[in-house]
Amino acid sequence: MSERDEETRRRIRRTTIILVIVALAFYVGFILSGVIRS
Amino acid sequence: MTTAVADAHEAHDHHGPATGIRRWLFTTNHKDIGTMYLVFSLIMFFIGGAMALVIRSELAIPGLQFVHPEFFNQMTTMHALIMVFGAVMPAFVGLANWMIPMQIGGPDMALPRMNNWSFWILPVAFGILLSTLFMPGGAPASGWTMYPPLVLQTGDAFPFLIFSVHLMGLSSIMGAINIIVTIINMRTPEMTLIRMPMFVWTWLITAYLLLAVMPVLAGAVTMLLTDQFFGTSFFLAAGGGDPVMFQHIFWFFGHPEVYIMILPAFGVVSEIIPTFSRKPLFGHDAMVYATASIAFLSFIVWSHHMFTVGMPLSAQLFFMFATMLIAVPTGVKVFNWVATMWRGAMSFETPMLFALAFIFLFTIGGFSGLMLAIVPSDIQYHDSYFVVAHFHYVLVPGSIFAIMAAAYYWLPKWTGHYYDETAGKVHFWLSTIFVNLTFFPMHFLGLAGMPRRIPDYSTQFADFNLVASIGAMGFGLSQLIFVYVLLTAKKGAQATAGVWDGSKGLEWTVPSPAPYHTFDEPVHVDRSVAFPKDPNV
């Protein structure tokens, strides 16, 4: 596998991890906001 | 950029699809998964449509005819959940799966295994949801908004409702992540972001919306679940909770959800109008910025769904003006579509007819939305059939007409054959006549004071209800023509690669039907395959 392919895979992995973290943050964040308000 | 996947395929000697059921269960091919999404959404469209016909049969004349009021409420709830999460959203995800890799010159979606999971979660989710119809207490009947405390009175179906909504959300989030990662990382090197076709752009923005709001819905229903089974009081006033907070959280998800169902439709129409006008899209960049503006504004207008709940005057004013502001970027879009057609060499094949009807009828839905945005008026319109007319104009001749337009537009590319154009046009005209017959009278019913979500009504509403019910039956039957078109889709003349006279873009450079694997190598973009933005590349 070429260096360029490796770089593409790295970028795909990195973007995916960031987006998963964002989704989890919204999920947990809104439940926490409910906990704080109730 | 795209050679990574090409190398992987070389190891398997450019294999074709597996055979039998294994092909569909284990496929990671974006075209197969796109097809499964589209077939699934069509099945859900007919199941949700059958429920709509139960509703309209009951409402055809005053009095209780066919179903008990409890079952009527289950039908309104299930119809909405199935149409929103089972029909419209999966249809657009199916189109995204089929077309985005081909439009950006990528070999497949970036995360193909996750793509398979995203799809196969859906039949499970809707199997669970539909199974509640046969449970003690029946299916959920509190409306798709699932407001507490009403939703907490749901019978045995409640945990199944929550679980199925979680699964739908999970599927949507995984799909959104896949689309963003694909568009960011898998484009052919010459395709910069701003040069992407509008369908890809609208889907990129939609995917960000999905990523931001589906977890919010998941959080809200998780809190409902803990309120019901684990002794919490997030939304229970008796325990110090706040039921109105659920409404705020739900609509923080719910309003962007509306745009999740309409932005890809804007993308479809932005592809079709230039093709059949034989002109590049007018104001491509302005369309991108307008789409992004609509997406941004969708996050700051949610309380317009709750004006009658009560809120400070300053909040009412803010949400009213923010909502009305959405008309500006939407107006930019409508203007640009019309300007694209201006002095174009137009022809009126079925996809173009559906796209034109979309512009005209969606705009009617937009105007009634503006009326609803005005606080003093909304207090009169709220929870009336005017609201039902408004959102059905946005979603049926809006989203669903765009899906139909897309299906007709890309069907020859998928099957390799031209469909039955006469049948397509009959389908269009019957759908357009009956959709207006169904939903336009609902404006008058709402203005006259008929409330929504009721199985019976006063006799002064009888005439318009009968018209709406006749329209609904006609619209439902008209969709069988679409099934006929699909079943005979491979019997027409062989389609060329370009399919349509004015088609531009990478998807039209591959043969029809599109090969199982496309763009294994990065493609060069020259004048003959110019993107909509750049007619003179």
- Three-state secondary structure readout of B461-512: HHHHHHHHHHHHHHHHHHHHHHHHHHHCCCCCCECCCCCCCCCCCHHHHCCC
Per-residue confidence in pLDDT tens, chain B, 537 aa: 333 444 444 444 456 788 888 999 999 999 999 999 999 999 999 999 999 999 999 999 999 999 999 999 999 999 999 999 999 999 999 999 999 999 999 999 999 999 999 999 999 999 999 999 999 999 999 999 999 999 999 999 999 999 999 999 999 999 999 999 999 999 988 888 888 999 999 999 999 999 999 999 999 999 999 999 999 999 999 999 999 999 999 999 999 999 999 999 999 999 999 999 999 999 999 999 999 999 999 999 999 999 999 999 999 999 999 999 999 999 999 999 999 999 999 999 999 999 999 999 999 999 999 999 999 999 999 999 999 999 999 999 999 999 999 999 999 999 999 999 999 999 999 999 999 999 999 999 999 999 999 999 999 999 999 999 999 999 999 999 999 999 999 999 999 999 999 898 999 999 999 999 998 888 877 655 555 555 544
Check whether the bond before B149 is cis (ω within 30° of 0): yes
Return the structure tokens found at B68: 């008990």
- Report the C-alpha gap between B99 and B495 in whole angstroms: 17
Q: Which ranges in B374-461 belong to alpha helices (H)?
A: 375-381, 385-394, 401-415, 421-447
More confident residue, A37 or B401: B401
Rg for chain A, CA atoms, rounded = 16
Q: Determine contact: B244 vs chain A, CB below 8 A.
A: no
Q: What is the largest CA-CA distance in chain B?
A: 72
* CA distance to B4, B394, B471, per residue, from B367 (Å): 49, 10, 22
User: Please, is A11 exposed, middle or buried when counting C-beta atoms within 10 Å of its C-beta (0-12, 13-18, 19+)?
Assistant: middle
- Report the C-alpha gap between B232 and B238 in whole angstroms: 11
Q: Do B219 and A31 touch (CB under 8 A)?
A: yes
Contacts with A36 from chain B: Cβ below 8 Å: none
The nearest alpha carbon in chain B to A26 belongs to B215
Distance spanning both ends of chain A, measured CA to CA: 54
Q: Determine contact: B223 vs chain A, CB below 8 A.
A: yes
Q: Determine contact: A17 vs chain B, CB below 8 A.
A: no
Q: Determine contact: B211 vs chain A, CB below 8 A.
A: yes
Mutate: best of B173, B242, B247, partner A, most A CBs <10 A: B173
- Report the C-alpha gap between B56 and B483 in whole angstroms: 22
Return the structure tokens found at B167: 């699964």
Q: Determine contact: A12 vs chain B, CB below 8 A.
A: yes
Q: Determine contact: B371 vs chain A, CB below 8 A.
A: no
Alpha-carbon torsion B223, B227, B231, B236, what sign?
A: positive
The H or E element containing residue B206 is helix B198-229
The H or E element containing residue B273 is helix B263-277
Residue A1: pLDDT band (50, 70, 90) is low
Neighbours of B436 (CB within 10 A): 18
- Report the C-alpha gap between B415 and B487 in whole angstroms: 11
If you search the block for the tokens 């908004």, which residue do you land on? B145
Distance of CA B498 to the CA centre of its chain: 27
- Report the C-alpha gap between B528 and B348 in whole angstroms: 24
Distance spanning both ends of chain B, measured CA to CA: 21
- Report the C-alpha gap between B431 and B482 in whole angstroms: 10
If you search the block for the tokens 């679980």, which residue do you land on? B163
pLDDT at B526: 65
Q: Do B110 and A12 touch (CB under 8 A)?
A: yes
Return the structure tokens found at B130: 């539909």
Q: Determine contact: A13 vs chain B, CB below 8 A.
A: no
- Report the C-alpha gap between B183 and B168 in whole angstroms: 23
Contacts with A31 from chain B: Cβ below 8 Å: 219, 222-223
Cβ neighbours of residue B431 closer than 8 Å, sequence gap 6 or more? B401, B404, B475, B478, B479
- Report the C-alpha gap between B344 and B275 in whole angstroms: 10
Cβ–Cβ < 8 Å for B530, B444: no
User: Please, is B3 exposed, middle or buried when counting C-beta atoms within 10 Å of its C-beta (0-12, 13-18, 19+)?
Assistant: middle
Cβ–Cβ < 8 Å for B246, B235: yes
Contacts with B249 from chain A: Cβ below 8 Å: 30, 34
Entry pTM: 0.94
In this structure, chain B runs to a length of 537
Check whether the bond before B513 is cis (ω within 30° of 0): yes
pLDDT at A34: 84
- Report the C-alpha gap between B472 and B440 in whole angstroms: 11
DSSP label at B85? Answer: I
- Report the C-alpha gap between B336 and B289 in whole angstroms: 12
Q: Which residues pair with B417 in a beta bridge?
A: B494
3-state helix, strand, coil in chain B (%, to 5): 70, 0, 30
Return the structure tokens found at B103: 């439009």
Contacts with B186 from chain A: Cβ below 8 Å: 8
pLDDT at B15: 67
- Report the C-alpha gap between B226 and B48 in whole angstroms: 29
The pair phi, psi for residue B144, each rounded to 5°, is: -70, -15
- Report the C-alpha gap between B181 and B195 in whole angstroms: 17
A vs B: CB pairs below 8 A: 80
Q: Determine contact: A37 vs chain B, CB below 8 A.
A: yes
pLDDT at B529: 57
Q: Determine contact: B446 vs chain A, CB below 8 A.
A: no
Q: Determine contact: B8 vs chain A, CB below 8 A.
A: no
- Report the C-alpha gap between B351 and B357 in whole angstroms: 10
The whole-angstrom distance between B216's CA and the closest CA on chain A is 6
Q: Report the catalytic residues of B.
A: 79, 108, 144, 171-172, 255, 257, 259, 270, 304-305, 330, 333, 452
The nearest alpha carbon in chain A to B245 belongs to A34
Q: Helix B284-297 to helix B243-260 angle, to the nearest 10 degrees?
A: 170
DSSP label at B453? Answer: S
The nearest alpha carbon in chain B to A36 belongs to B234
Q: Do A27 and B218 touch (CB under 8 A)?
A: yes
3-state helix, strand, coil in chain A (%, to 5): 90, 0, 10
Q: Do A4 and B110 touch (CB under 8 A)?
A: no
Cβ–Cβ < 8 Å for B145, B217: no
DSSP label at B12? Answer: T
Mutate: best of A3, A6, A8, partner B, most B CBs <10 A: A8
The whole-angstrom distance between A18's CA and the closest CA on chain B is 10
Interface list for B 109-138 with A (CB within 8 A):
110-111
Return the structure tokens found at A38: 């109730």
Q: Which residues pair with B384 in a beta bridge?
A: B451
The nearest alpha carbon in chain B to A17 belongs to B177
